């Protein structure tokens, strides 16, 4: 990946971070293609004397994000790509025995995803598909490169009701944080990142540094 490229990543929901040992997973190389699908499945109700059945729409299908191929590489580090990357992805796809669901994540990539500029992902997703193909090994047999296919499935809207703070408070910026990820964890709505930027006089949303304290303004109802 170019040193100037903004890395794509999966960001773990703030409430699901406990026990994982990581907050996000950066892609070694940005994806070349991202497929987004959304469908509505109507029910057919046959009516006498009509050429076609009446269609009844009760609910829509979950949106899906599919990555055709993502390369994770640790060859230069001479470390196991499984230990450094794939093991984390496996944790995301496992169902938590207490919550009875997998970890919630968001796909973020600079300003293009999870914002008004590209509304491909503005909510929570589960990792529902993981296909790993190891394609390079050290002489010792340690895998150092893998091609990964990922599928993310939208979390039902009822399970992601917005919990906006009603009082202002301070958020300490951590490593890997962005305005979108902070807005997601605070408001459960990444499109609210401008509210935080304006409250803190931030002109460049990519200029965040770890350790900075941000004022999180309330959303008054």
User: CATH no. for residue 6?
Assistant: 2.40.30
Beta-carbon contacts of 219 under 8 Å, excluding residues fewer than 6 positions away, are 164, 165, 166, 187, 192, 195
**Average pLDDT estimate for 11-34:** 87
Residue 69 lies in a domain: yes
The larger pLDDT score, comparing residue 114 to residue 215, is at: 215
Tell whether 60 and 114 lie within a shared domain: yes
Going by C-beta distance under 8 Å and a sequence separation of 6 or more, which residues neighbour residue 168? Answer: 215, 216, 217, 218
Tell me what percent of the residues of the chain surpass a pLDDT of 90.
25
Same domain? For 79 and 20 the reply is: yes
pLDDT digits (tens, 9 = 90+) for 51-96: 666 766 666 778 888 998 899 999 999 999 999 999 999 999 988 8
The boundaries of the domain holding residue 169 are 162-221
Residue 45 lies in a domain: no
How high does pLDDT run on average in the chain?
Answer: 81
Q: Does residue 95 sit in the same domain as residue 127?
A: yes
For residue 84, what is the DSSP state?
I
Last residue of a domain, which of 125, 145, 160? 160
Q: Who contacts 198 (Cβ-Cβ below 8 Å, separation ≥6)?
A: none
Q: Are 89 and 25 in contact (CB under 8 A)?
A: yes
pLDDT (tens digit, 9 = 90+) per residue, 158-197?
Answer: 544 455 566 778 888 887 788 888 887 787 777 788 889 9
Predicted confidence at residue 86, as pLDDT, reads: 96
The number of distinct structural domains making up the chain is 2
Last residue of a domain, one of 160, 175, 203: 160
Q: Is residue 176 part of a domain?
A: yes
We report the CATH number of the domain holding residue 193 as 3.10.350.10
pLDDT of the residue at 159:
46
Which stretches of the chain are assigned E, i.e. beta strand? 9-12, 24-26, 34-37, 43-45, 54-56, 64-73, 104-108, 125-137, 143-154, 169-172, 213-216
């Amino acid at each position: 990946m170019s040193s100037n490229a903004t890395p794509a990543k999966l960001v773990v929901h703030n409430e699901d971070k406990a026990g994982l040992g990581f907050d996000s997973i950066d892609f070694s190389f940005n994806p070349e293609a991202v497929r987004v699908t959304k469908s509505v499945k109507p029910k057919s109700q046959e009516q006498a004397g009509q050429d076609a059945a009446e269609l009844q729409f009760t609910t829509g299908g979950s949106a899906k994000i599919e990555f055709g191929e993502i390369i994770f590489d640790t060859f230069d580090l001479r470390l196991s790509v499984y230990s450094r990357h794939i093991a984390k992805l496996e944790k995301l796809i496992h169902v938590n025995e207490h919550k009875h669901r997998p970890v919630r994540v968001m796909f973020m990539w600079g300003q293009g995803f999870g914002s008004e500029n590209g509304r491909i992902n503005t909510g929570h997703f589960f990792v529902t598909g993981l296909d790993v193909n190891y394609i390079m090994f050290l002489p010792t047999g340690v895998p150092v490169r893998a091609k990964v296919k990922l599928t993310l499935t939208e979390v039902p809207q009822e399970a992601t009701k917005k919990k906006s703070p009603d009082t202002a408070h301070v958020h300490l910026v951590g490593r890997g944080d962005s305005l979108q990820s902070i807005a997601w964890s605070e408001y459960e709505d990444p499109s609210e990142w401008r509210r935080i930027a304006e409250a803190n006089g931030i002109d460049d949303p990519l200029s965040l540094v770890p350790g900075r304290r941000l004022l999180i303004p309330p959303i008054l109802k």
